[in-house]
Structure 1
């Protein structure tokens, strides 16, 4: 007979008194372990669920999404913990604030939550179970309410049996390439095996299905309720309820080893031969009408020498285009850059003429041009052909791009959904798509996990375009648009050193053959590379250094095998061989100090290192010195970075 002990942690006990941004960057984590199951409770999310040290699920959490796919912000009210002889249980009371009424992860003072839920987590030596009971406190319209399960991207290629509610079993697999349609559907359970352990993931309370969230650069596959075939949105009345549960059961032939503790030894890299070049970099401008009636882009910061282009999007009505182009041209002139013009219009008729007139009778400043339909956000092949003909008559010598101004999702679905072969026009010089890491999750660990998926998305885009070059961007922290009439949002992370470290990791992921340019952020605040006072923020400082290195060789930085679990190093090493000497761009995507030991190429003396800290004015810190038991002659350098810090270590020729 089991005995039970319970303890309730009230709101003051579970609340975090640190500033909201600090909480977001370094959330409180409660580690859970029963038998060989381990997991982490982070806010309302049960994360990093492992069995015998092997990752099984990335996360289980409850979400509330309104009719425009905006997520209600969760806030934990209290946690009750119960322990008995069989395992551990947690009951978590969560309030959900409607979009716009509270900061992410908080309920604003005086705000009445629009939804509330009770999450019950139960872990025993054999199973992990999560139940959710939700209740609407006000009326609203929803697209989805309920539990979602995130599967790690390491599951790509994994064979799975899908059991439907009627008992039918279908064989399938998690895809390796990013899949545009549903991965699995009509799910009551998923079954698979790994290293002698059989897993059974069961669902109740609704019918579930699985999609490939890598389409939006998420580091996961997602199994969720409310099948996509059902009509949405749906009216939710006050007091309406939802009840769902998810359970994962493990059955092993032999008891797995206990989880290994993570090594804290420094990450080690060998800097070797050239493996690519620094892609051309661009920034975008959000040309907004000023009180004086003109258009400004709120830039005005220092020059970015070597910047490839300034990207501007033009929407109807066309009488606004001359002012917007003039503002974009002023920004481009400051940097000595060209123009990348993205037109959003149903028709190509007159586009070339309006652009040419607005630019003084010549399109020579435009290095790239594209046309997207406002309904699909993708290229209309017929309109593309008409635009190509008119541009030829106007003497346009730049590249004509096809694809989407939205996420890779739309590019993937646009090409897969064509019934008459590829919709990519034969005359298209290149493809394009954009990236934003917060379509589904605003938590920093999830933002970090988008980085390797960006490389996969670029590689898939090269396949979809039959080898055509790919121009990636704009890359922004938050989506530039999510639904009709939604304006782009800024992010409190924009001016933080985190964004420089994330942008460096992103560029390293996108430095592959075929990626012809990458556009990051905007010229001015709140989504740009300059702060409110006109100075470069850390991301701007980084892009200034990288833009000046356009087309310079990038050397391979190969991780040295160690006891550290694969893929767990938070460090990015991006070595650039420039005319001035070797530059080691190093970034730390972690709330903890981290050290990298770098074995340098022959002839690079570690004793001659010159360290420039990106974002030093805002508190970022870094240092470099010969590694212990090393010397300047053998070229092993230890670079230590503070939390979320980025540095450039230069060896002058």
Structure 2
């Protein structure tokens, strides 16, 4: 690990291209930060391929200038392919920039038969698009007016789209979509920092078989012109912090839990050891359709002091027996979801409550979804919460995109998701987790995933194994900073527990040798704040990815700060007069600190996290 690569992902900086009033950033698979006269018009346009199970196919796209553009026109040739040659996606097209007009036209094809759920262009709009009036033109030429929702929309804000018109400041923007019918999705449901205009409508049957003769051509054309200030968001306004809020009184920092290990090799348990047993709650998901779920329960019980158990059920029949199996284990919470819908369906909830009725005092029932906030947002109205029950959902920043930018920009959206979840819970306690870098299972698969011959499943455990669920950045300093920033974003009044990562194994907080990883140290820091009073909290925003929280526990004042930006940052926090504090860094190094007249000045390294403690 080197200071120059704190994320360990070798991502290259985007290349900026300017022509006239236009500027864009070109990455390996996308045209990003589309601006006209300095005003952000679109967050990105890109070609997206999703297979029959909604897995994203990784693409590599190049943009090469062509000499035939005139003085007022810049033409870039576009060539792309799938990273996996077995998939065989081929892209050709052009990016054209001329005064007031940007056109991105792509033809996509496949060399081999391929079953796709999505195959075409998407346009991403920034979170600041929320609240903007938009005129929608439909394929039949009729129009309708919408306002992009401020709250995270459970369903598509607009369908049947041929063109969109809106204003940003004094700029009028028109966007035509060609080659298919498009619709809009609120990707904040998955903690993406975007709204998405995409094809093909979800109302059409999928998957669709593509063959070598089935070329698909689509285009997105954006036109910009000066216009009188209208009802759109003013361009000069500061970006709206996604979910930022001010709380007049302090509140309790949530409990920090870990996910149970899903490592296929039981030798990974050696890395926990007596010194690495988590001194708190371990969240374990038990698939009651698996023959060895009891072994998975016993394994998880050895990884922490108490359990948060989530049953995944094919139906209500096995629930009573599963609850009886918890006897003798310290259990804080018990939840139940359907194995197909991933939601707490009413028959399962009734069976769980009946089984828990005989346990006095019993664990807290937890209802909701083992999948994304999306499912909670769409089903909360039919979730009949009994008194004393909590609400749960999980979180991953990489449902749609694996880029570092996506991981970082998900953090401010997590704050908005947490606050909306608290509002939906209507007074019930909210539990968020597992929080993982990559999806730990495919919540939208339309068919079972083929077995991965590289994975050897141990016979004694009922863990779930998902190809590509482990992010190589898991061991990096950047992820330690991300964990701190994520917890600060999610730690809002009403959220009472957060479960991160796993105890050990490829997605664990320690190495196979038992050494604590940087993000493991960050999670330990967060756990020390559990139950303390939050005195100050500054969550990351879309404009500023630097965050901190100050928490008092007993007679100790702790400040955690994280910096997700590319350069070191200095922050000031008022902590009041007192004895000097001690500063540590998640990577084990000591950073710079000054404490004068009760004002703490911390220098937080790029992609780093620091802790300052005063007893």
Please name the residue that 1:412 is paired with. Answer: 377
Query: Distance in 2 between the 1:184 and 1:121 partners?
Result: 26
Report how many aligned residue pairs link the two structures. Answer: 579
Q: Return the TM-score normalized by structure 2.
A: 0.87
Deviations 1:407-444 (A, max 9, x none): 1111112235xxxxx33233461110000110100011
Please name the residue that 1:648 is paired with. Answer: 611
Q: Return the TM-score normalized by structure 1.
A: 0.82
Query: Distance in 2 between the 1:558 and 1:319 partners?
Result: 46
**Preserved contact between residue 297 and residue 328 of structure 1 (Cα < 8 Å):** no
Q: For 2:55, what is the secondary structure of its paired residue?
A: coil
Q: For 2:406, what is the secondary structure of its paired residue?
A: helix
Shift of 1:491: 0.7
**Preserved contact between residue 401 and residue 431 of structure 1 (Cα < 8 Å):** yes
Unaligned runs of 5+ in 1: 1-18, 99-110, 263-270, 417-421, 560-564, 627-631
Query: Distance in 1 between the 2:271 and 2:277 partners?
Result: 15
Query: Distance in 2 between the 1:530 and 1:119 partners?
Result: 46
Q: Which residue of 519, 534, 541 corresponds with 2:521? A: 541
**Preserved contact between residue 25 and residue 31 of structure 2 (Cα < 8 Å):** yes
Shift of 1:308: 3.7
Please name the residue that 2:412 is paired with. Answer: 452
1:435 aligns with 2:395: yes
Q: Which residue of 615, 625, 639 corresponds with 2:602? A: 639
Query: Distance in 2 between the 1:558 and 1:571 partners?
Result: 8
Question: Which is further off, 199-208 or 48-57?
Answer: 48-57
Question: Which is further off, 391-400 or 154-163?
Answer: 391-400
Query: Distance in 2 between the 1:60 and 1:116 partners?
Result: 17
Please name the residue that 1:509 is paired with. Answer: 489
Deviations 1:26-46 (A, max 9, x none): 422111223333221122311
1:328 aligns with 2:300: yes
Shift of 1:445: 0.6
Deviations 1:582-610 (A, max 9, x none): 322111212x32222314232157xx342
**Preserved contact between residue 7 and residue 476 of structure 2 (Cα < 8 Å):** no
Query: Distance in 1 between the 2:70 and 2:273 partners?
Result: 61
Q: Which residue of 147, 152, 163 corresponds with 2:137? A: 163
1:201 aligns with 2:186: no
CA 1:131–1:369 in structure 2 vs 1: closer, same or farther (change >3 Å)? same
Query: Distance in 1 between the 2:11 and 2:88 partners?
Result: 27
Please name the residue that 1:316 is paired with. Answer: 288
Q: Which residue of 114, 119, 134 corresponds with 1:140? A: 114
Q: For 1:512, what is the secondary structure of its paired residue?
A: coil
Q: For 1:449, what is the secondary structure of its paired residue?
A: helix
Shift of 1:396: 5.1
Q: For 2:522, what is the secondary structure of its paired residue?
A: helix
1:277 aligns with 2:249: no
**Preserved contact between residue 52 and residue 116 of structure 2 (Cα < 8 Å):** yes
CA 1:521–1:166 in structure 2 vs 1: closer, same or farther (change >3 Å)? same
Shift of 1:571: 1.4
1:47 aligns with 2:7: no
Please name the residue that 1:352 is paired with. Answer: 320
**Preserved contact between residue 182 and residue 212 of structure 1 (Cα < 8 Å):** yes
Deviations 1:502-551 (A, max 9, x none): 11111111111110100001111211211232211111111112212211
CA 1:473–1:200 in structure 2 vs 1: closer, same or farther (change >3 Å)? same
Shift of 1:139: 1.2
Please name the residue that 2:456 is paired with. Answer: none
Query: Distance in 2 between the 1:210 and 1:21 partners?
Result: 35
- Aligned pairs (5 A) from 1:383-422: 383-395=348-360, 397-415=362-380, 422=382
**Preserved contact between residue 45 and residue 123 of structure 2 (Cα < 8 Å):** yes
Shift of 1:234: 0.7
- Aligned pairs (5 A) from 1:102-117: 111=85, 114-117=88-91
Query: Distance in 2 between the 1:217 and 1:441 partners?
Result: 11
1:227 aligns with 2:201: yes
Query: Distance in 1 between the 2:303 and 2:88 partners?
Result: 43
Q: For 1:177, what is the secondary structure of its paired residue?
A: coil
Query: Distance in 2 between the 1:526 and 1:21 partners?
Result: 19
Query: Distance in 2 between the 1:573 and 1:370 partners?
Result: 32
